[in-house]
A and B are shown apart, each in its own frame.
Chain A
């Protein structure tokens, strides 16, 4: 069974550009969450999607957006990149449907974004 796949693995962008990251969840999983990981800040929650609907959003500016497609694949977009957006972006999928989330997350290997 294939794991969570994130592409690309590495990205280098310059300030002001925009970027789109992709995440393919484990087959059958309909919940996809996105996290930003930086040294010292741990894993910061960005948003969570289930069946193409954003159910929750973390405390990030509107430059960070996402979407989920009918096949559960998800993309996140960051517009007008800033130096501080340099981070590892992790996507995780799970079976989680209802409340509470008693399902474990399966993480992808992440996309390392560097903003110059």
Chain B
């Protein structure tokens, strides 16, 4: 039930854009996105609910296609502070959130 994330790792220069994809084999109630910096706890970014909505704040946004059971996280004009591992969490059923293996994003000057 673990969602599949791609790519596994990506290196960007400051100002470049990136897309992280997340797909599930099961129908989903929602998709969550979290970022974990090295040695720290994962921190919530956003939740997307059924309805194909797109959400975002600052230069990080995401979309959710419930028919395809896919979500994408968009990072535009990347900053050094965006570095970390991004996890998508999918909720195929009540009260159990399954996370992908993560995408390691490195932003270099």
A: which residues have CB within 8 A of B?
4, 31, 33, 35, 40-45, 48, 50, 55-56, 58, 90, 96, 98-110
Contact = CB atoms under 8 A, between A and B. Distances in A.
A43 B34 CA distance: 11
Contacts of B40: 109
B29 A101 contact: yes
Contacts of B87: 42-43
A31 to B, nearest CB: 7
A99 B44 CA distance: 19
Given A42-B87, A107-B42, A33 B94 contact: no
Contacts of A48: 95-96
A44 B44 CA distance: 17
Interface residues of B, number: 25
A54 to B, nearest CB: 10
Contacts of A90: 41-42
A102 B96 contact: no
A31 B96 CA distance: 11
A56 B94 contact: yes
Given A48-B95, A96-B95, A42 B102 contact: yes
Contacts of B94: 55-56, 98-101
B107 interface: no
B49 interface: yes
B49 A108 contact: no
B108 interface: no
